[in-house]
């Protein structure tokens, strides 16, 4: 089944403890992206990647890192999480960086930083 | 600044009626526009993409129009069903960043 898989689905952590949210897609998509979704603010892009080793900042990149060493994986790293990073996170992929195809989204990761 | 506006108030309609949702945008010159459905706590699901040279696109009970002069897209669900209840998001491509920017969505509630 074609899908984007995120792990974990739920995570509670403490301020300052480094964490990684994994994202993997099995569709050979070039383009991958991370969004966070907060009430009243909608979906905001954190980082995106147009292909392997090509990443760039989105609207809200502060406090996050990403890497794209393989086409299928695009992990999101929080080096020192803070409570304002408590949010619902989505990974998405698309066939081409031209984005003339729809995104396929993962099921989401609900992160709470205390 | 660029802005995508969707009606933040929920739309309540009766089963069997046509639901019409609006997406307005400013300071974009989009090559295309996309619509997604999102259920609570789940990832958005892609529904339709319409290009700037297409006035209308249909998929089963869904219809999307795109008016680049009015800077508006309308999303219609005909013969609506309670299972259509969800939040519907429109999205535009920011060509500068190669990223989709999403509206905040409109929640549709279809009453049986």
Average pLDDT of each block of 10 consecutive residues along chain A (114 residues)? 94 97 96 94 93 93 97 97 98 82 94 98
With CB atoms and an 8 Å threshold, state whether A103 touches B89.
no
CA pair distance A34, A11, nearest whole angstrom: 17
Spans in chain B with pLDDT lower than 70: 95-97
The per-residue pLDDT for A40 is 84
For residue B70, give the nearest of B7, B16, B22 by alpha carbon: B22
**Contacts with B50 from chain A: Cβ below 8 Å:** none
Beta strands in B3-112 (DSSP E): 3-6, 11-14, 19-26, 32-38, 45-51, 56-59, 62-67, 72-77, 86-94, 99-102, 106-111
If one counts every other C-beta atom within 10 angstroms of the C-beta of residue A21, the result is 20
Per-residue pLDDT at A93: 95
Best of B31, B36, B44, B91 to mutate (most A CBs within 10 Å, chain A): B44
pLDDT of the residue at A32 = 95
Q: What is the pLDDT of residue B50?
A: 92
- What is the pLDDT at residue A100? 73
Would you say the C-alpha torsion B66, B69, B72, B78 has a positive or negative sign? negative
pLDDT score of B95: 66
Calpha distance B112→B110 (Å, rounded): 7
Using a CB-CB distance cutoff of 8 angstroms, which residues of chain B are in contact with residue A43? 44, 89, 102
């Amino acid at each position: 089944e074609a899908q984007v898989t995120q792990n974990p689905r739920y995570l509670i952590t403490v301020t300052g403890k480094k964490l990684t949210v994994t994202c993997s897609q099995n569709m050979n998509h070039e383009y991958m992206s991370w969004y966070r979704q907060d009430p009243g603010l909608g979906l905001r892009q954190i980082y995106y990647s147009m292909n392997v080793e090509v990443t760039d900042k989105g609207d809200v990149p502060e406090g996050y890192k990403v890497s794209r060493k393989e086409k299928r994986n695009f992990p999101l790293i929080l080096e020192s999480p803070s409570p304002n990073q408590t949010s619902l996170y989505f990974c998405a992929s698309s066939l081409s960086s031209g984005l003339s195809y729809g995104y396929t989204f993962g099921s989401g990761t609900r992160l709470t930083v205390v | 600044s660029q802005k995508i506006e969707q009606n933040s108030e929920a739309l309540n309609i009766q089963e069997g009626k046509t639901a019409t949702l609006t997406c307005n945008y400013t300071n974009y010159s989009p090559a295309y526009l996309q619509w997604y459905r999102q259920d609570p706590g789940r990832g958005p699901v892609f529904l339709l993409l319409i290009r700037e040279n297409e006035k209308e696109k249909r998929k089963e009970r869904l219809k999307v129009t795109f008016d680049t002069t009015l800077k508006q897209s309308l999303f219609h669900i005909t013969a609506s069903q309670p299972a259509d209840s969800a939040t519907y998001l429109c999205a535009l491509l920011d060509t500068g960043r190669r990223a989709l920017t999403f509206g905040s969505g409109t929640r549709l509630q279809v009453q049986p």
